[in-house]
Structure 1
């Protein structure tokens, strides 16, 4: 193996193939044609005297050799990126940058209004694109630079992805005001007697409350499954249905809510995710600081309002 004259761009292609498992998509990320990717892979194979990737029905699968060197390759590329990024200075007032953030409609409603108020003052020419990326693709999107941040539950354990907790909340049972069950004493039997709305970005699967009920050998009656909290709140206002939601959501939408009569339901945590390759990037770091500080202010304000009510 002779690495003395290897083009560093080959390792960028290697990382893209490893991430995408597809030569065409790897080329799109790097900005070269599929034949150029194939040529780069051929040169890498000659250098390492190993196939590196084997074509299968599931895509380009890395060989043991490729799996052994990917960590070192990514570390080296990260160091190169950091050295370039640290030489740049981010000036918010003059920045003409678009941040791409994956978040649900619920986190949009909590974070984006105050964030934009702050950005208009500190970085008036900065833009934000918000959309929901599939959870299983988040790491790949962050690594490829197609996504700057993700705001999600603490489920991503990929070592390439950094994260910090933004907010925490508890689940409550929300309903319209003047609901027949809007009373102080609210039992598990009351909860099970109701018809429920369940919010999930997945087409199927159980929520935290359903898992807790399942341990008790019981289940609730779900009449509507949707991916949008804001739509569901409108349904609540017009029916006697109920919805298990974070307390922050119920309070913001002026819904009546009661303590959830189900044990072992974990609190709702919201984390901010970013890729390790952008950890030292001034623009990424600045926006992280804004979002963290903003969520701290939101939480502090809500505590004051709770004490006053």
Structure 2
């Protein structure tokens, strides 16, 4: 049954098999997460993957809670047999309580300065404390987008938060949030809070444009789709988001930033047309890091935390 009755994707993935077994046995995502020391969103993601593999919901909600589908009822006895075989090779209870051990002394993250995730440094400390507290690890945070995919592939980066057009075969990504973008000006700018028709977007040309030095490559494509034109040519590019905000509040320049930055830094929006620009924010990592339990723990924490808010 193990060789012929299960999809090839599962036959060589004991991790996914165990998740499937526990989901069908416990019928509760949170209970499975607790057993495997994962976050509920991480287990939900695996359940979605399993549903795709089997082309079946596997678990369905009823008045009495989650119940097995007909296919799941057939699978469960076979899964129990498989888990016993796996247990003969290694102690499955030890797998459940696997100690989190970093394979590196330093983990490097790359984010765009416009996301503000880099300000949540306390979050990284909390991750270390919750995973044992005595881990010998440190972190570096780079505020850029350029070359991040290349650096992931060459192992110079461990995590990248952004959005790129092409996903390399050796990389994995998962969506963590949606970011809304808007034109931004200082509070006392003549256009602060104003609504401009899309046909009148060139009114902004009366003022100089200041931009972040590094922006997601997907943003220009979205910009063209919504505004029907190339982005404004910046008079100056600056790496620091706070420097841009300070300059906007002291001048009549304008910029193009996330709405979260505009609100957080005390700026004002300029509304152009009726359609907003939203850019999906992904977390990227190299598939070679799958065996690093601390890397896995970190990314599950990122996914759980960042999916609850715009970063």
Report if TM-score (shorter chain) is over 0.5: yes
Q: Distance in 1 between matches of 2:296 and 2:190?
A: 49
User: Please, which of 220, 225, 230 is the counterpart of residue 207 of structure 1?
Assistant: 220
> Where does structure 1 lack aligned partners over 5 or more consecutive residues?
1-82, 303-309
User: Please, which of 231, 246, 251 is the counterpart of residue 263 of structure 2?
Assistant: 251
Conserved 8 A contact 2:109-2:140: yes
Which residue is 2:195 aligned to? 185
> Where does structure 2 lack aligned partners over 5 or more consecutive residues?
1-89
User: Over aligned residues, Cα RMSD in angstroms?
Assistant: 3.8
- Give 1:289 deviation, angstroms: 0.8
Q: Distance in 1 between matches of 2:293 and 2:197?
A: 51
| Residue 121 of structure 2 corresponds to residue 113 of structure 1 | yes
Q: Deviations over 1:171-208 (max 9, x none)?
A: 11111112221244334434343322122428x9x935
Which residue is 1:234 aligned to? 246
Alignment map for 1:53-64 (pairs within 5 Å): none
Which residue is 1:164 aligned to? 174
Conserved 8 A contact 1:154-1:270: no
| Residue 269 of structure 2 corresponds to residue 260 of structure 1 | no
Q: Distance in 1 between matches of 2:115 and 2:193?
A: 29
Which residue is 2:236 aligned to? 224
Q: Distance in 2 between matches of 1:108 and 1:185?
A: 27
Q: Distance in 2 between matches of 1:251 and 1:195?
A: 21
Q: What SS does the aligned partner of 1:99 have?
A: strand
Q: What SS does the aligned partner of 1:272 have?
A: strand
- Give 1:149 deviation, angstroms: 1.2
- Give 1:121 deviation, angstroms: 4.2
User: Please, which of 293, 298, 303 is the counterpart of residue 282 of structure 1?
Assistant: 293
Which residue is 1:37 aligned to? none
Conserved 8 A contact 2:152-2:285: yes
Which residue is 1:30 aligned to? none
Q: Distance in 2 between matches of 1:185 and 1:236?
A: 18
Conserved 8 A contact 1:174-1:244: yes
Length-normalised TM-score, structure 1: 0.56
Which residue is 1:307 aligned to? none
Counterparts in 2 of 1:187 and 1:156: CA distance versus 1, 3 Å: same
- Give 1:222 deviation, angstroms: 3.1
